[in-house]
C-alpha cells in the first residue's frame, strides 16, 4: 500500500513538472532566424544569439491556449494538494474521487491546447508557403 501511495505521489509530481515545462518552454516554430513559442516571438542571428523578443500576438486562439495551460497547472496543483489532504483525513479504504476529478480537469485543458496548437500551426505553415 505504501508503494502504491508513493507511486501516486510520483505520478502527481511528474505531471506537474511536465505541465510546467510544456507551458514555459514550448517552442512551436524554429527556423529562418525566427523562433515562436507560446509567450513570445524572437528573432535570432545566424550564430544563435537572440536579438529581439516581442510578446506573442494578441490572437484569440493564442490567449485561449495560454489560459487553458494555466488552468491545467492550477488544477494539477489543486489535485496534488487535495491528494495530501485526503490521504490524512479519509478513513481506511476511502476513495480519492475528488483528487481524480481534479486530475481529469487538469488533463482536459492540455488536450485542448495540443489540439489547438496542431490546428493553428498547420494553418500558420500553410499561410507561410
pLDDT for position 27? 66
Query: At residue 105, does pLDDT exceed 60?
Result: yes
Judged against a pLDDT cut of 70, whether residue 38 lies above it is answered with yes
Query: For the chain, which residues make up each domain, given as ranges?
Result: 1-90
Does an H or E element contain 89, and which? helix 60-89
pLDDT tier at 121 (50, 70, 90 boundaries)?
low
50-55 and 34-37 strand pairing: unpaired
For the entire predicted model, the pTM comes to: 0.68
How many Cβ atoms sit within 10 Å of the Cβ of residue 27? 10
Greater pLDDT, 82 or 66 = 82
Q: In this model, does residue 35 exceed pLDDT 60?
A: yes
Q: CA-CA distance, 66 to 22, in Å (whole number)?
A: 11
- Using an 8 Å Cβ cutoff, are 72 and 19 in contact? yes
Q: Judge whether 50 and 44 are in contact, CB under 8 Å.
A: yes
Amino acid at each position: 500500500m505504501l508503494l502504491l501511495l508513493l507511486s501516486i505521489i510520483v505520478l502527481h509530481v511528474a505531471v506537474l513538472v511536465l505541465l510546467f515545462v510544456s507551458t514555459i518552454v514550448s517552442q512551436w516554430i524554429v527556423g529562418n532566424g525566427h523562433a515562436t513559442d507560446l509567450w513570445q516571438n524572437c528573432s535570432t542571428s545566424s550564430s544563435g544569439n537572440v536579438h529581439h523578443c516581442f510578446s506573442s500576438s494578441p490572437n484569440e486562439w493564442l490567449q485561449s491556449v495560454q489560459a487553458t495551460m494555466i488552468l491545467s497547472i492550477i488544477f494539477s496543483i489543486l489535485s496534488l494538494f487535495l491528494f495530501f489532504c485526503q490521504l490524512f483525513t479519509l478513513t481506511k479504504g476511502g476513495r480519492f474521487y475528488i483528487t481524480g476529478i481534479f486530475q481529469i480537469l487538469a488533463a482536459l485543458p492540455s488536450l485542448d491546447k495540443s489540439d489547438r496548437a496542431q490546428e493553428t500551426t498547420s494553418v500558420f505553415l500553410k499561410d507561410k508557403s
